[in-house]
Structure 1
Amino acid sequence: MNNPTLILLMLCGGMAIAVQPSINARLAQKIGPLESSMVSFGVGTLALLMVVLVTGRGNLRGITTADWWELTGGFLGAFFVTLTIICVPRLGTAAVMATIITGQLVAGALLDHYGLFGLRQLPLTPLRLAGMLLLAGGAALVIRR
């Protein structure tokens, strides 16, 4: 896939991430926050199972060679989804999204700067830092009531 297509797909993914907490929070009103998170992951697991069965080309046996920390993505996802379920009704979707995006950008910049997890190293330049500070300032304005 070319870069414009990937960027468009990521924009759609960002929109999905913005809608998901509100949907999960609504479900949580009926079944509870932890239960809503569990259902969200259960439905996602079933959807991915179908996709893997139809189009998967990988080898799940390779999981036996994975380091322990390479398996923590599911835990981090569950942590994220559960926090959004709890926070969206209290803070609002825009405030939660602004906070999440700021946290993602800071973490992403640190991952890039240090080349963690075997990724390409991209230094934290003054320009990138300025962009992070501007985003954090924008997030503060969105959060402020």
Structure 2
Amino acid sequence: MASWLFWLIIILGGVAGAVQAPVNATLAQHIRPIPASLVSFIVGGTALLALTLFTLRGQGLSGLGQGLSTAPPWSFLGGLCGAMVVSSVIVGTGAIGANATLSLLTGVQLIAALVIDAIGFGTAGPIPIRWPQVLGVLLIIGGMKLVLTR
């Protein structure tokens, strides 16, 4: 995949995350937060199922099944993490707004990501924490504090 495509996907994901917050919070006003999270995952899961079937390109479902059978059990927890993220965004957006919720969520994610990278959890291997990353996270935390100030 071309490097510009990685950037585009990440940028579109950021925009989608910001749009998702008020959309799901609006749905939650009508059906409550946890059912709104479920509906969000059903719609997203349906879209991903269609995209998966479209992009198999000869691999077939047996290749997919073989890959799933060799994945470590903990690698299936991403869905639970996603459910927590979506639910927390729905609850937070309804209570303190999208900007404050996403600022707080992003700050916490970046702190956790520094630790995750440093211990080498995941596929990238250990990535040492350097002062520019720490400074960047501290600046984001400062910005988060400004956003949360009412």
CA distance, structure 2, for counterparts of residue 62 and residue 3 of structure 1: 25
- What SS does the aligned partner of 1:116 have? coil
2:82 maps to which residue? 77
2:16 maps to which residue? 16
Question: 1:48 is matched by which residue type in structure 2?
Answer: L
Question: 1:33 is matched by which residue type in structure 2?
Answer: P
Deviation at 1:61, TM superposition (A): 3.2
Q: CA deviation digits over 1:48-85, x for unaligned, max 9?
A: 11111111245133222222211100011011111111
Deviation at 1:112, TM superposition (A): 1.5
Identify unmatched segments of 5+ residues in structure 1. none
State how many pairs are aligned: 145
Q: Please give the root-mean-square deviation of Cα atoms over the aligned residues, in Å.
A: 1.4
Is the aligned partner of 1:3 residue 2:3? yes
1:110 maps to which residue? 115
* 1:117-136 alignment, distance < 5 Å: 117-136=122-141
1:50 maps to which residue? 50
2:104 maps to which residue? 99
Q: CA deviation digits over 1:70-106, x for unaligned, max 9?
A: 1100011011111111110111100011111112211
Distance 1:117 1:6, change over 3 A: closer
2:35 maps to which residue? 35
State which drifts further: 112-121 or 99-108.
Answer: 112-121
- What SS does the aligned partner of 1:61 have? helix
State which drifts further: 21-30 or 115-124.
Answer: 115-124
State which drifts further: 131-140 or 112-121.
Answer: 112-121
TM score, norm. by length of structure 1: 0.92
Runs of at least 4 residues off by over 3 Å: none
CA distance, structure 2, for counterparts of residue 102 and residue 13 of structure 1: 17
Identify unmatched segments of 5+ residues in structure 2. none
Deviation at 1:121, TM superposition (A): 1.9
Is the aligned partner of 1:67 residue 2:67? no
